Amino acid sequence: MNSPDLTQRPPRSARVRLGGFVILPRILDKCRATLAGTNGEFNYACPLDQRFFVFTGIDPEALKTEVAKGLGDGALLAWIQANAPLQRADHEIEAWSRFRDSAAPGDNASRAYISGAIEKAGGAERDDLATWFEWLDYDDYVSFGGA
C-alpha cells in the first residue's frame, strides 16, 4: 500500500468510513504517512484517533505494527475485526459513527479553540462549522490552498 504524502494533501476526511467506522481511514492515512516520514503536521494516535482506539480497544502501536506490513485497508479492517478486544456489533458501530460524525465541542475551552482556529484560517464569517468533523474538513481544505 502506498503511503500518502500528508505534506502535499490531507488525509481522508474523518467522515469517510471503513467497516462502518468513521475516523478509521483517516487514522490509516496518518499511520502510513508517519511510518514513511511524510505526515507533516498530522499526528497518528492524536486525541481524535483515541476515540476509535478506546471504542475498539485496539492498541495504537499494535495497529501501527500491522500497517507497517504494507497491508491494504481491507486487510487492516479484517485484522481489527479479529483482534479488537471490544468486539462491537454493526448497530453499535453505526451508532458510534453517527455520534462521532455529529459531535460538537462540548466545553467552553474546546469551543474557544475551534472558534480561534476557524478565525485564524480566515473563516471568521463561517458560522456553519459546528462539529469537530466540519472543522477538520474546513481546516484540511484551507491548509492545502482552499479559499
Query: What pLDDT is recorded for position 147?
Result: 62
Q: How many CA atoms lie within 13 A of 35 on its CB side?
A: 20
Confidence (pTM): 0.93
Q: What does the alpha-carbon distance between residue 11 and residue 17 come to, in Å, rounded to a whole number?
A: 13
Domain locations in the chain as residue ranges? 1-103, 104-147
CB 138 within 8 A of CB 123: yes
How is residue 4 written as a grid cell? 500518502
Give how far the C-alpha of residue 14 lies from the chain's centroid of Cα atoms, to the nearest Å.
Answer: 4
| In the block, residue with C-alpha cell 501501527 | 64
**Predicted confidence pLDDT, tens digits, the chain (147 residues):** 689 999 999 999 999 999 999 999 999 999 999 999 999 999 999 999 999 999 999 999 999 999 999 999 999 999 999 999 999 999 999 999 999 999 999 999 998 988 888 888 888 888 889 899 999 999 999 999 876
